[in-house]
Amino acid sequence: MIRLHHVPQARSFRVLWLMEEMGLAFEIVPHSFFDKSLRAPEYLALSPAGRVPALEIDGLTLFESGAILEYLCETFGPFGRQPGEEERPEWLEWLHFAETLGQHLAALTQQHIVLREDWMRSPTVMRLEAKRLEKVLGAVEDVLEGREYVLASGFSAVDVAIGYGAWIARRFVRFDALPRVARWLARLEARPAFRRAALRDGMAEIYTQDFYEVPDD
Q: Is residue 45 part of a domain?
A: no
Q: What is the pTM of this model?
A: 0.96
Is the residue at 199 inside a domain?
no
**Digit-coded pLDDT (tens) for 55-100:** 999 999 999 999 999 999 999 989 999 999 999 999 999 999 999 9
Distance from CA of residue 139 to its chain's centroid? 17
For the stretch 152-172, pLDDT in tens is 999 999 999 999 999 999 999
Does residue 101 surpass a pLDDT of 80?
Answer: yes
User: What pLDDT was estimated at residue 151?
Assistant: 98
**At residue 180, does pLDDT exceed 80?**
yes
What band does 193 get if pLDDT is binned at 50, 70 and 90?
very high
pLDDT of residue 113: 96
103 in any annotated domain? yes
3-class secondary-structure state, position 60 = strand
At 142-153, the pLDDT tens digits run 999 999 999 999
165, part of any domain: yes
- Whether residue 153 lies inside any domain: the answer is yes
**Which structural domain, as residue segments, surrounds residue 103?**
88-191
Query: From edge to edge, which strands make up the β-sheet containing 60-62?
Result: 27-30, 3-6, 54-57, 60-62
Residue 147 included in any domain = yes
Number of domains in the chain: 1
pLDDT at position 216: 82
Residue 44 lies in a domain: no
What is d(CA 76, CA 72) in angstroms, rounded to the nearest whole number?
Answer: 6
C-alpha angle with apex 212: 210 to 213, nearest 5 degrees? 130
CB atoms within 10 A of CB 205: 15
pLDDT > 90 in the chain, percent: 95
In a domain, 129, yes or no: yes
Assess whether pLDDT exceeds 80 at residue 184.
yes
CATH number at residue 93: 1.20.1050.10
